[in-house]
């Protein structure tokens, strides 16, 4: 039986449907003016932290996708290297282990001492299975990025939110409300519209994408990667609920690091078994912008993917995994705009419609999260009054 122990929580000050948490150590016998000042300061700090982490997600994701496309556009050919740079920067996350979870004053703390914690074998199975899925996912993303314009690629990637909702319905008991259904339908339509994107010779003349066959391979790979990522998120949440039985700072960090470690090893095996490692030197020499640019492009791609990972991890700890995933999806429409500026991708009418539909689907999803949080807040206040 799990034995729960009470933990001293920060003082909560409620106002309407929202509540602000006053840190421990602050005298509860405060004047109304002092309590209001503390409440405003705490709320300001909370939203400032969220804003900074959202910036990390936007900057990391946009930069990583653009740099990944630059690698292929300037002469890179290896899908395995394109996969590896998405994963190999995970040691950057290791210093986060020294940050104690208790320093996050807005986290609701729930401590449970479980007499039957998950065995090492079960944890290893979870990390290996999810790591294998992540490796496959990264390979599919790399294939899509190699064969598609950045703008098309990023628009298709927005469908991961719909896939996440679909798999969560079966694995995590997510309720399909009208807003969720609307979001799934719109994000699906957004991707389907791009099937009819044939691509003009102007758009593809300077890139590897020179045929409809490659476009179709890239499209299928990116849709598959988005579906895989949605499944990965749902399975990760299921693992926390059924295996770990709780979410904690260290638990989430372990999940991210061990997944990346397993996926990196699998990708390295694929790189050597495919024989693509033999072309590494020739690829570097033939890179149009030079050897130094080749190394820097791959290095910064790896770093920016981890910047994105840090932002996502921080948002999970500060708010929720759903919010983190939604913010990652919101950042994707930024990429087509940047692709027009840096890669001169065309933004035709079909892409514009797809972009508008994708943003509409995202907003519908976020609105449902707002309604859920509002309902949960009212329920919590009602329980407190009783």
- The pLDDT assigned to 103 comes to 45
pLDDT digits (tens, 9 = 90+) for 323-373: 777 788 777 777 877 887 887 777 777 778 888 888 888 788 778 877 776
Is the pLDDT confidence value at 102 over 60? Answer: no
Q: Name the more confident of 43 and 84.
A: 84
Is the pLDDT confidence value at 14 over 60? Answer: no
- Residue 148 is classified by DSSP as S
- The pLDDT assigned to 129 comes to 96
- The pLDDT assigned to 223 comes to 93
Q: In 180-189, which positions are buried (b, 16+ CB within 10 angstroms) versus exposed (e)?
A: bebbbebbbb
Residue 255 to residues 155, 244, 305, Cα–Cα distance (Å): 28, 10, 16
- The pLDDT assigned to 29 comes to 53
Q: What's the pLDDT band for 300 if we cut at 50, 70, 90?
A: very high
Looking at the chain, which runs of residues are DSSP E strands?
Answer: 2-5, 11-15, 18-22, 111-114
Helix (H, G, I), strand (E, B) or coil at 366: helix
Contact 260, 126 (CB under 8 A): no
Residue 107 to residues 8, 95, 102, 103, 123, Cα–Cα distance (Å): 12, 20, 8, 9, 25
- The pLDDT assigned to 30 comes to 55
Q: Name the more confident of 353 and 303.
A: 303
DSSP bridge pairs for 22: 11
- The pLDDT assigned to 8 comes to 39
Q: Name the more confident of 206 and 70.
A: 70
Closest residue by Cα to residue 76 from 254, 242, 293, 269: 293
- At a CB cut-off of 8 Å and minimum separation 6, what does 62 contact? 331, 334, 335, 338
Contact 173, 238 (CB under 8 A): no
Helix axes 321-331, 212-239, angle to 10 degrees: 160
For the ranges 56-60, 63-67, 104-108, 313-317, the lowest mean pLDDT is seen at 104-108
- The pLDDT assigned to 173 comes to 80
- The pLDDT assigned to 294 comes to 92
Is the pLDDT confidence value at 249 over 60? Answer: yes
Q: Tokens standing for 179? A: 């807003």
- The pLDDT assigned to 302 comes to 93
Q: What's the pLDDT band for 107 if we cut at 50, 70, 90?
A: very low
Is the pLDDT confidence value at 105 over 60? Answer: no
CA distance 179 to 182: 5
- The pLDDT assigned to 80 comes to 94
Helix (H, G, I), strand (E, B) or coil at 21: strand
Average pLDDT, the chain: 78
How many CA atoms does the CB half-sphere of 225 hold within 13 Å?
A: 24
Number of neighbours of residue 219 by Cβ within 10 angstroms: 21
Q: What's the pLDDT band for 234 if we cut at 50, 70, 90?
A: confident
Closest residue by Cα to residue 366 from 14, 358, 45, 236: 358
- The pLDDT assigned to 269 comes to 95
CA distance 315 to 313: 5
- The pLDDT assigned to 257 comes to 92
Is the pLDDT confidence value at 6 over 60? Answer: no
Q: Name the more confident of 203 and 290.
A: 290
Could you tell me if residue 16 is left (phi over 0), alpha (psi between -120 and 50 degrees) or otherwise beta? left
- The pLDDT assigned to 93 comes to 87
- The pLDDT assigned to 13 comes to 40
Is the pLDDT confidence value at 304 over 90? Answer: yes
Closest residue by Cα to residue 183 from 49, 335, 370, 375: 370
- The pLDDT assigned to 299 comes to 93
Is the pLDDT confidence value at 280 over 60? Answer: yes
Q: What's the pLDDT band for 84 if we cut at 50, 70, 90?
A: very high
> What's the rounded mean pLDDT across residues 306-322?
79
Q: What's the pLDDT band for 43 if we cut at 50, 70, 90?
A: confident
């Amino acid at each position: 039986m799990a034995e729960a122990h009470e933990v001293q929580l920060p003082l909560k000050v409620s106002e309407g449907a929202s509540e602000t948490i006053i840190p421990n150590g602050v005298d509860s016998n405060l004047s109304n003016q002092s309590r209001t000042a503390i409440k405003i300061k705490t709320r300001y700090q909370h939203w400032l932290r969220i804003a900074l982490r959202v910036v990390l997600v936007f900057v990391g994701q946009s930069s990583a996708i653009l740099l990944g496309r630059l690698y292929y556009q300037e002469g890179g050919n290896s899908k395995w290297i394109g996969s590896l740079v998405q994963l190999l920067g995970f040691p950057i996350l290791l210093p986060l282990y020294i940050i104690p979870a208790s320093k996050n004053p807005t986290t609701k703390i729930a401590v449970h001492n479980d007499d039957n914690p998950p065995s090492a074998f079960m944890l290893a199975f979870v990390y290996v299975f999810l790591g294998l899925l992540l490796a496959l996912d990264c390979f599919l993303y790399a294939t899509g990025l190699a064969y598609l314009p950045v703008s098309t690629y990023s628009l298709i990637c927005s469908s991961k939110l719909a896939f996440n909702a679909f798999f969560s319905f079966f694995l995590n008991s997510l309720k399909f409300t009208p807003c969720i259904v609307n979001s799934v339908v719109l994000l699906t339509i957004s991707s389907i519209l791009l099937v009819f994107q044939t691509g003009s010779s102007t758009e593809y003349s300077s890139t590897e994408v020179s045929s409809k066959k490659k476009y179709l391979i890239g499209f299928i790979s990116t849709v598959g990667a988005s579906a895989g990522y949605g499944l990965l998120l749902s399975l990760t949440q299921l693992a926390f609920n059924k295996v770990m039985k709780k979410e904690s700072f260290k638990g989430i960090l372990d999940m991210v690091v061990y997944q990346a470690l397993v996926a990196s090893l699998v990708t390295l095996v694929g790189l050597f078994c495919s024989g693509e490692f033999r072309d590494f030197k020739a690829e570097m020499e033939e890179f149009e912008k030079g050897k130094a640019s080749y190394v820097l492009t791959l290095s910064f791609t790896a770093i920016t993917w981890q910047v994105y990972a840090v932002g996502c991890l921080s948002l999970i700890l500060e708010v929720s995994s759903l919010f983190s995933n939604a913010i990652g999806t919101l950042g994707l429409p930024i990429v087509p705009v940047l692709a027009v500026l840096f890669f001169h991708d065309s933004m035709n009418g079909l892409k514009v419609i797809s972009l508008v539909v994708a943003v509409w689907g995202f907003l519908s999803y976020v609105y449902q999260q707002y309604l859920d949080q509002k309902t949960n807040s009212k329920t919590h206040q009602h329980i407190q009054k009783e």
